[in-house]
C-alpha cells in the first residue's frame, strides 16, 4: 500500500517539486494551496508525470480549513505517513508601507503562516500520523533562521526580521515536537532547501544558484529517510545546519 503524503503550499516552486519527488518515490501525494483551482491543476500536472496526486484547498492559518483537510484524509485514506510543512511567506517583501524595523502587518502575516499554521497542521494531522508505523514530519526551514549564522553574518548581510524570526521559531518547534514524539516513532526534521530560484522574493529568481527541483531534493530525502537526519535535527543538502 502506497504511503500517503501531504505537502502544504505545493502548487508551485519547492512545494510542487517536493510533491513530485515524493510521488515518484511511490507516495500518494496530497497537493494543497490557497486556490483550489491551482491545487487541482498542480495535481493534474503531477498525474501527467505518473504521480498519484490529489488537489485540495488549504489555508494553513485557518483551523477550519486545516481540519477539513484532515477529515478528507481520514475519509479517503485512513492515515497519513508524511507531513511536509512547506507553506511559507516573507511578507516584508510586500509590506503595506515603510517601517523603522519591520512593519507590524508583515510580522503578523509571516508568523501566522510560517509558525502558527504549522502548529495547526501538526495538531490536526498527528492522529492520522500516529496510525502508521513510521510517520515523518518535515518542516521546511531556512539557513536564515539559524541563530548561529545570523550572529556570524556580516552587518551588511540581508536582514528580513519577521521571516528570520519565524524560521528560528519553526526550528524550535522541530526540537520540542521531536521530544514529544520520541516514544512513538514519528520523526521530525527541519530542512534548509537553500537559496532557490522561485518567486518567493524579488531577488530569488535572478540571484539564486539552485533550481526548485534541487531545493526540493533534501526535503524529499528527509521525508523518505534517505539521508542521515536524526529526529530533532536541522539539515541541508550539505549536512547539518547549526541552530
Task: Judge whether 101 counts as a catalytic residue.
Answer: no
Catalytic residue among 16, 163, 200, 234: 163
| Cell numbers describing residue 80 | 497519513
Q: In what order do the strands lie in the sheet with 233-236?
A: 53-57, 28-33, 4-7, 82-85, 136-140, 187-192, 233-236, 239-240
Alpha helices of the chain — where are they, by DSSP H? 13-24, 36-48, 63-76, 104-111, 117-129, 147-152, 161-180, 204-207, 212-223
Distance CA 64, CA 84 (A): 19
Say if CB 134 and CB 185 are below 8 A apart.
yes
Distance CA 221, CA 128 (A): 22
**Cβ-count burial of 157 within 10 angstroms (0-12 exposed, 13-18 middle, 19+ buried)?**
exposed
Say if CB 32 and CB 10 are below 8 A apart.
yes
Q: How far apart are the first and last CA of the chain?
A: 37
Question: Which residues are registered as beta bridge partners of 239?
Answer: 236
The dihedral sign for the CA sequence 52, 56, 62, 64: negative
Active site (catalytic) residues: 163
Amino acid at each position: 500500500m502506497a504511503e500517503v503524503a501531504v505537502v502544504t503550499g505545493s502548487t508551485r516552486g519547492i512545494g510542487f517539486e517536493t510533491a513530485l519527488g515524493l510521488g515518484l518515490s511511490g507516495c500518494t501525494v496530497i497537493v494543497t494551496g490557497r486556490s483550489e483551482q491551482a491545487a487541482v491543476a498542480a495535481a493534474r500536472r503531477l498525474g501527467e508525470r505518473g504521480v498519484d496526486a490529489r488537489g485540495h484547498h488549504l489555508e494553513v492559518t485557518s483551523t477550519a480549513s486545516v481540519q477539513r483537510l484532515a477529515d478528507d484524509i481520514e475519509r479517503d485514506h485512513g492515515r497519513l505517513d508524511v507531513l511536509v510543512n512547506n507553506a511559507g511567506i516573507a511578507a516584508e517583501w510586500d509590506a503595506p508601507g515603510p517601517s523603522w524595523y519591520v512593519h507590524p502587518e508583515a510580522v503578523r502575516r509571516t508568523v501566522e503562516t510560517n509558525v502558527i499554521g504549522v502548529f495547526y497542521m501538526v495538531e490536526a494531522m498527528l492522529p492520522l500520523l500516529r496510525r502508521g508505523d513510521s510517520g515523518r514530519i518535515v518542516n521546511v526551514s531556512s539557513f536564515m533562521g539559524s541563530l548561529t549564522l545570523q550572529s556570524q553574518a556580516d552587518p551588511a548581510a540581508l536582514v528580513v526580521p519577521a521571516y528570520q524570526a519565524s524560521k528560528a521559531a519553526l526550528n524550535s518547534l522541530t526540537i520540542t515536537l521531536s521530544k514529544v514524539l520520541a516514544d512513538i516513532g514519528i520523526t521530525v526534521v527541519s530542512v534548509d532547501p537553500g537559496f532557490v530560484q522561485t518567486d518567493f522574493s524579488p531577488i530569488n529568481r535572478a540571484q539564486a544558484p539552485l533550481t526548485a527541483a534541487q531545493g526540493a531534493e533534501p526535503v524529499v530525502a528527509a521525508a523518505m529517510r534517505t539521508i542521515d537526519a536524526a529526529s530533532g535535527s536541522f539539515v541541508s543538502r550539505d549536512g547539518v545546519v547549526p541552530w
